[in-house]
Amino acid sequence: MDSIKQFASTFFVTGDPMIYGADVSIVLVSVAILFYLTKFKKWGWLWREWLTTVDHKKIGIMYLIAALLMLFRGGVDAILMRIQLAAPNMKFLESQHYNEIFTTHGTIMILFMAMPLIFAMFNIVVPLQIGARDVAFPFLNAVSFWLFFMGAMLLNLSFVIGGSPDSGWTSYPPLSELGFSNGPGENYYLLSILISGIGSTATGINFLVTILKMRAPGMKLMKTPMFSWSVLATCIMILYAFPALTVALILLFIDRIGGAHFFTLTGGGNPMMFINLFWIWGHPEVYIVILPAFGIFSEVVSTFSKKRLFGYTSMVLALVSISIIGFFTWVHHFFTMGAGADVNAFFAIATMAVAIPTGVKVFNWLFTMFRGRISLTQPMLWTLAFIPCFAIGGATGVMLSVAPADYQYHNSYFLIAHFHQVLIGGVVFGMFAGLYYWWPKMFGFKLNDRLGKWSFWLWNIGFYVCFMPQYALGFMGMTRRIYVYGWDRGWAPLNMVSTIGAFLMGIGFIVMVWQIIYSIKHGERDTTGDPWGGRTLEWSIPSPAPLYNFAEIPVVKSRDAWFEMKEEMAQPGYQKKPVHIEPIHMPKNSGIPFFMAVFFFIGGFGAVFEWYWMAIPGLIGIFACLFARSFQYDTDYYIPVEEVEATESALGRL
């Protein structure tokens, strides 16, 4: 009995009323979901339509929902931190709790919010935009999603079971080594990212092959829409960057459970090795999340200026050069390592060089808008807000890249303000623009304009109110990751302002959720499939797209394929070509991806607690799933012509 008590008191996180609150709400929500599914007999539906789906559109929607939930969780973390910092000597959070929260905030926002959000956009848009019926490997796509999902679950479990990681999202050793981080928290961090990282790498491979090989006939690489181009560049970066992260995490894990000495201070280890590997992934990672946003802005700007994108070729070149230079800048995250003037100079110059292609892109967007007929829709608003925001973020980035000056800014609130400006003002605004833009394509209705404007202004004003003071605080000597400060520092007023800004953004998020709920009922329905006057192929099909996307694969003649087709159709004497429908080849649903991810979860959870009796069966389960899949030959089917015809005529397309 006593030993059970003993076990439970370390297994479950105890002692904090907030955690008890979380426990209760987790249990209540789970019970409510189980009740709902059983009461309304939804289990079969859930299994058939979602858990086993290999349809890229549904996988995209699942990524989206998960990412928004994670944005909420990360946002709550942020608000808690801002409350603690609002005034000097606050007693809201203790130091340990504060450490845990900034760690999960960063980890979740980058790996479990930004990544799934970009993957949501990849999935929802890319096949439709290039005129394909699915991605190259639909089964693998489902595996990727479920690995991400289970990774995210594992990390989120940590705060009620075992304890959260607390050594920062960068998890530098020796702090993250055994001697300093004994609990399971750090293991949670390592395993959850490893698991979801495998999924991310697979997504990179999947979309790379999709874009290279599955474009509609006639769509040359230089006729591919800009968003798909940005995904192509992103995928190449994923392939090159993620292995470094995988290795860094695995080696740290071996240090922790195998007593190795890669990054320890004793035994000849070298902590800087981890930090190098981490940023060899980490810097490209920031471009991995921003490039798709660039792609979205390109689509949005061109559609809502009613002009073709200015400087298409230079846009492509900029993407490609960013994705190459991005791999030669990582040392700017630790100029203070003391690598010497020559090394620091190289990386400083490479970092500054990234600003050049970025600037090219900004000017291209501006020139696209120049003399365009601009309509201020919601996607366009976010795009317009992004441009000045990112310009400031880029400029402060260049300030940070001046190596000698960085000795002063490094790890201060100036740095915090910089990366939030590029991540929120760039990635988040970009994904929001994409969300509003493609929402009708996903769900068949637009999101309400009035509520959207409220949310937009709350977010924007909130952003500047929150982060502009942080630049100043950085100059005043406030360093990152501190949890209290005294009155004598003079930081109090600006911190209070910053906290107010955070709350404004929080309200903006709530309004956005309300907007979505409201629009499900009252949003303007999209019956044409082309609510914005779009230019690319995804707008040529009904919203939401049918299972097989295109009844007939379109033949592409020019860059803005759908725009040209519409022009052609508007010609006098245009004869509609009869649609020629053939049986459509589709992948079958499969439960294996889900089960495999469950085994990953079991294995991961076992490894977190170093319970080999649990970890090893998990590992065996993973391989069993792989083996089972290898023996499956009956993996796809054909949708017969009649069925396609029936669907198309129901959608008014025949």
Partner 1 sequence: MAQLAHDMKHGGHDAHAHDHGHHDQEGLKMLGFWFFLATDLLIFACLFATYIVLRTHVDGGPTGKELFEVKGFMTETFLLLTSSFTSGLATLEMRKGNVKGLIGWLIVTVLLGMGFLGFEITEFVQYAMDGATMSRSAFLSAFFTLVGTHGAHVTVGMFWIIGIMIQLSRRGITDVTQRKVMTSGLYWHFLDVVWVFLFTVVYLSGMVM
Residue 333 or 559 with smaller CB distance to ligand HEM: 333
- The piece of 25-33, 113-121, 211-219, 221-229 that touches partner 1 (CB under 8 A) is 211-219
Residue 283 or 410 with smaller CB distance to Cu ion: 283
| Nearest-angstrom CA–CA distance, 400 and 352 | 9
| Nearest-angstrom CA–CA distance, 121 and 141 | 13
Residues in contact with 611: Cβ distance below 8 Å, sequence separation at least 6, in sequence order: none
How distant, in Å, are the alpha carbons of 398, 418, 556 from that of 415?
A: 11, 5, 46
Residue 409 as a binder of ligand HEM (CB under 6 A): the answer is: yes
Which one among 51, 209, 398, 614 touches ligand HEM, defined by CB under 6 A? 398
Angle, CA 181 vertex, CA 177 and CA 184 arms, to 5°: 105
- Residue closest to Cu ion when measured from CB atoms: 283
Q: Give the pairing of strands 636-639 and 584-587.
A: antiparallel
Residue 612 as a binder of partner 1 (CB under 8 A): the answer is: no
Task: Compute how many residues bind partner 1; rule: CB under 8 A.
Answer: 54
DSSP β-bridge partners for residue 161: 12
Residue 406 as a binder of ligand HEM (CB under 6 A): the answer is: yes
Which one among 358, 378, 448, 543 touches ligand HEM, defined by CB under 6 A? 358
Radius of gyration of the chain (CA): 25
Which one among 120, 143, 354, 608 touches ligand HEM, defined by CB under 6 A? 354
Cα of 76 vs its chain's centroid, Å: 18
Q: Which of Cu ion, partner 1, ligand HEM, none does residue 156 bind to, with CB < 5 to 8 Å depending on kind? A: none
Residue 283 or 307 with smaller CB distance to Cu ion: 283
Q: How many CB atoms lie under 10 A from the CB of residue 400?
A: 23
Q: Which of partner 1, Cu ion, ligand HEM, none does residue 586 bind to, with CB < 5 to 8 Å depending on kind? A: none
Minimum CB separation of residue 2 from partner 1 in Å reads 33
CB distance 100 to 271 below 8 Å:
no
Residue 283 or 441 with smaller CB distance to Cu ion: 283
For residues 167, 169, 173, 176, the Cα torsion angle rounded to the nearest 10 degrees is 40
CB distance 399 to 408 below 8 Å:
no
Residue 410 as a binder of Cu ion (CB under 5 A): the answer is: no
Q: Which of Cu ion, partner 1, ligand HEM, none does residue 121 bind to, with CB < 5 to 8 Å depending on kind? A: none
Amino acid making up residue 486: G
**Maximum CA pair distance of the chain?**
88
Instruction: Extract the tokens encoding 323.
Output: 């994705």
Would you give the binding string for Cu ion spanning residues 254-283, x where CB under 5 A is met?
A: -----------------------------x
Residue 57 as a binder of Cu ion (CB under 5 A): the answer is: no
Interactions with ligand HEM, residue window 160-179 (CB under 6 A): 170
Q: Which of partner 1, Cu ion, ligand HEM, none does residue 529 bind to, with CB < 5 to 8 Å depending on kind? A: none
Task: Compute how many residues bind ligand HEM; rule: CB under 6 A.
Answer: 25
CA dihedral over 469, 474, 478, 483, signed as positive or negative:
positive
Q: How many CA atoms lie within 13 A of 513 on its CB side?
A: 10
| Nearest-angstrom CA–CA distance, 347 and 446 | 45
- Which secondary-structure segment (H or E) carries 651? none
Residue 170 or 647 with smaller CB distance to ligand HEM: 170
Minimum CB separation of residue 397 from ligand HEM in Å reads 3
Three-state secondary-structure class, residue 273: helix
Residue 281 or 409 with smaller CB distance to ligand HEM: 409
Q: How many CB atoms lie under 10 A from the CB of residue 58?
A: 18
Residue 582 as a binder of partner 1 (CB under 8 A): the answer is: yes
Residue 623 as a binder of partner 1 (CB under 8 A): the answer is: yes
| Nearest-angstrom CA–CA distance, 571 and 576 | 11
DSSP β-bridge partners for residue 586: 637
Which one among 78, 80, 288, 584 touches partner 1, defined by CB under 8 A? 584
Q: String of b and e for 75-92 (b: at least 16 CB within 10 Å)? A: bebbbbbbebbbbbeeee
Which one among 260, 391, 484, 598 touches partner 1, defined by CB under 8 A? 260
Task: Compute how many residues bind Cu ion; rule: CB under 5 A.
Answer: 1
Interactions with partner 1, residue window 264-283 (CB under 8 A): 264, 266-270, 273, 277, 280
CB distance 585 to 563 below 8 Å:
no
Which one among 160, 389, 427, 602 touches ligand HEM, defined by CB under 6 A? 427
| Nearest-angstrom CA–CA distance, 431 and 413 | 25
Interface residue list for Cu ion (CB under 5 A): 283
- Residues of this chain that interact with ligand HEM (CB under 6 A) are 170, 286, 289-290, 332-333, 351, 354-355, 358, 394, 397-398, 400-401, 406, 409-410, 415, 418-419, 422-423, 426-427
Name the residues that contact partner 1, by CB under 8 A: 133, 136-137, 140, 201, 204-206, 208-209, 212-214, 239-240, 242-244, 246-248, 251, 254-255, 258-262, 264, 266-270, 273, 277, 280, 550, 552-553, 582-585, 623, 627, 630-631, 633, 637-638, 640, 642
